[in-house]
Amino acid sequence: MLGRNLSEPSRFGDIVGQDLAIAVLRASLTSGRLAHAYIFRGPSGCGKATTGRVFARYLLCSRVSEGKSEEPCGQCPSCVRFSYGTHPDFFDVGKDQRTIKIEDSHQMIEDSMKKPFLASRKVFLLRNVENMTREASNALLKALEEPPPSTCFILTSSNPAAVPDTVISRCQSVPFRPLPVKALVHIISGLRDVTPDEAIEAARFAAGSVEKALLLLDARNGLRGFATLLEDALAESPIVQAERYSHMDAGAQTQFLDALQVELEKRLELSLEAQSEETKREAKEGDFRFYRECLLSIMKAKRRLERNVSPFLTFAGLFFELKELSAQEKRSE
């Protein structure tokens, strides 16, 4: 049974660290000149999808649509159904998916052609559109070129350079920025039971991303110690590990790669911070180079999975590369 999500932000005032994006969206609402499509552009984990869901609340609330309120009322049938995750006119496309496929686009287009059931419009949130297949992008483009009436598309992208220009040009751009440390501390303190010092440390190394901050906190609290994560990846046979990770679901595979990526990014920063100005050159030529090359291998593995390359081949290639990089590092010592 679906329950009401009380922790999710419901108004623009609940969103921290994205004042510019909120100003753009408020102006769009108050002017009455809503675009048929928006693209939220910014780094991963900075709140694009969360803001998209909040924006959808405004677009679907009957009192906001009728000009009787500037904020979602929380009481009309649209607001209540949205809070319970059962709104028939809101579609969250790409959630918990690695790739948006052609069948997803076709279903979206079919749904967009139908009249709204409860609200005055339909709203489609498309997450990480850079991960759409070419066929899915082409289908989306057709919908953006001739948008159905009473329909709004909200696209999010952490890598807009990978999104076709023809898609971007048909959307109003909404810029998002990496979250400042203070904003991250505020957010993660509400999501995890942590001390102020723990929240600050996680925020410091999270590069403006809530996702990375939570990975750091979860690892610190014992889910998987980052102190041994890289060493664990190097300890076993690449084939054995590839077998293990290839049989996990897509979410677990992504979580592992994300955790390994955050670990390496933290090590890169610490390897430089710990050095004096006189020895930074040596650090760059030693640990820094090793961690950087490992990080590049992980990013390559993530891109391969996004392109639906075999998980076994992807993880086998990753672990073989990490083994070889480790061996090269030891030979250079």
Residue 37 has pLDDT above 70, yes or no: yes
Task: Indicate the average pLDDT of the chain.
Answer: 82
Residue 224 has pLDDT above 50, yes or no: no
Q: Could you give the 3-state DSSP secondary structure of residue 325?
A: helix
pLDDT of residue 59: 94
What ranges do the domains of the chain cover?
A: 12-175, 224-332
The whole model's pTM is what? 0.72
- Of the candidates 291, 284, 327, 321, the one whose C-alpha atom is nearest the C-alpha of residue 304 is 321
In 160-201, beta strands by DSSP E? 172-175
Contacts of 119 (CB under 8 A, 6+ apart): 59, 60, 61, 62, 65, 78, 87, 89
Task: Report residue 249: phi and psi, to 5°.
Answer: -75, 165
Q: Which numeric CATH code is attached to 12-175?
A: 3.40.50.300
Rounded to an integer, the average pLDDT of 104-110 is 86
pLDDT of residue 79: 94
pLDDT of residue 272: 65
249-270: pLDDT as tens digits: 777 787 788 878 877 777 777 7
pLDDT of residue 93: 86
pLDDT of residue 6: 52
Rounded to an integer, the average pLDDT of 53-76 is 92
Residue 1 has pLDDT above 50, yes or no: no
124-134: pLDDT as tens digits: 999 988 888 88
Residue 76 has pLDDT above 50, yes or no: yes
Please give the residue that has the higher pLDDT: either 100 or 38: 38
pLDDT of residue 329: 73
The span from the CA of 327 to the CA of 330, in Å, is 5
Rounded to an integer, the average pLDDT of 168-181 is 91
The span from the CA of 131 to the CA of 118, in Å, is 31
Please give the residue that has the higher pLDDT: either 330 or 213: 213
